[in-house]
Chains A and B, each alone.
Chain A
Amino acid sequence: GDSVTQMEGPVTLSEEAFLTINCTYTATGYPSLFWYVQYPGEGLQLLLKATKADDKGSNKGFEATYRKETTSFHLEKGSVQVSDSAVYFCALSDPTSGTYKYIFGTGTRLKVLA
């Protein structure tokens, strides 16, 4: 079945450092891919998405490119801030599965130090 694998955290960075959080997926069809962010004590918020190969999603300085050849959707940010400290979830939705269920990764906690 479909699955999402994320790098384990926690990831600890200094402010203004470069961020990469790896995400790879397996899917039988042509999924849409998402990154969600969860700030402390809150629910998940959609950060960015990409719906087809080579699409780049971007929001708030974060970017991720849908790479079909490597089945990856790595999250990057050029210069992190303390306010980016959160848990990040990679997810996919495969419409060919016949449902609208999303498959989530286990989440990667990011801690940014001032």
Chain B
Amino acid sequence: DVKVTQSSRYLVKRTGEKVFLECVQDMDHENMFWYRQDPGLGLRLIYFSYDVKMKEKGDIPEGYSVSREKKERFSLILESASTNQTSMYLCASSSLGDRPSYGYTFGSGTRLTVV
């Protein structure tokens, strides 16, 4: 089975800190995604990547950046954390081609609290 691993389940950071959220997948998937999940808002796409060193903005990229130096790793960076970035962050991956019908594989999530 595909495994998507997020490095931390819970994080507490201070306002203004630079925060790194790491995601690693082990099935050679081309596509990787970062979502945030908030009550009543569902999942909102922050950034995604189709290939190494490639990134595209999702629906809410402001305040975030990403890095994909290796195919298996996709990092989400909060340049200067703010309290409104307190949320659950979910990483997902999927394969390419006609695989949109296959579905994503999600990590277990990182619950980030900014104080």
Tell me the residues in window 21-35 of chain A with beta carbons closer than 8 Å to chain B beta carbons.
Answer: 32, 34
Quote the shortest CB–CB distance from A7 to chain B (angstroms): 13
Q: Is there contact, CB below 8 Å, between A34 and B107?
A: no
A contacts, CB < 8 Å to B: 32, 34, 36, 41-46, 49, 51, 89, 93-95, 99-102, 104-107
> Counting CB contacts under 8 A, is B76 at the interface?
no
For the complex of A and B, 10 pairs with smallest distance between CB atoms = A106-B42, A43-B106, A46-B103, A93-B100, A104-B43, A32-B101, A44-B106, A51-B101, A43-B108, A43-B109
Q: Is there contact, CB below 8 Å, between A95 and B100?
A: yes
Q: Is there contact, CB below 8 Å, between B58 and A101?
A: yes
> Counting CB contacts under 8 A, is B64 at the interface?
no
> Counting CB contacts under 8 A, is B25 at the interface?
no
Quote the shortest CB–CB distance from A30 to chain B (angstroms): 11
Tell me the residues in window 38-94 of chain B with beta carbons closer than 8 Å to chain A beta carbons.
Answer: 40-43, 45, 48, 50, 56, 58, 90, 92, 94
Chain B's closest residue to A32 (CB) is: B101
Chain A residues within 8 Å of B40, by CB: 106
B contacts, CB < 8 Å to A: 4, 6, 31, 33, 35, 40-43, 45, 48, 50, 56, 58, 90, 92, 94, 96, 98-101, 103-109
Q: Is there contact, CB below 8 Å, between A104 and B42?
A: yes
Chain A residues within 8 Å of B99, by CB: 100
New contact pairs (14) apart from A49-B101, A89-B43, CB-CB < 8 Å? A32-B101, A34-B103, A43-B4, A43-B6, A43-B106, A44-B43, A46-B104, A46-B105, A89-B42, A93-B101, A94-B100, A100-B94, A100-B96, A107-B43
Chain A residues within 8 Å of B92, by CB: 44
Among B45, B96, B105, the residue within 8 A (CB) of A101 is B45
Q: Is there contact, CB below 8 Å, between B100 and A32?
A: yes
Q: Is there contact, CB below 8 Å, between B41 and A44?
A: no
Chain B residues within 8 Å of A100, by CB: 31, 48, 50, 94, 96, 99-100
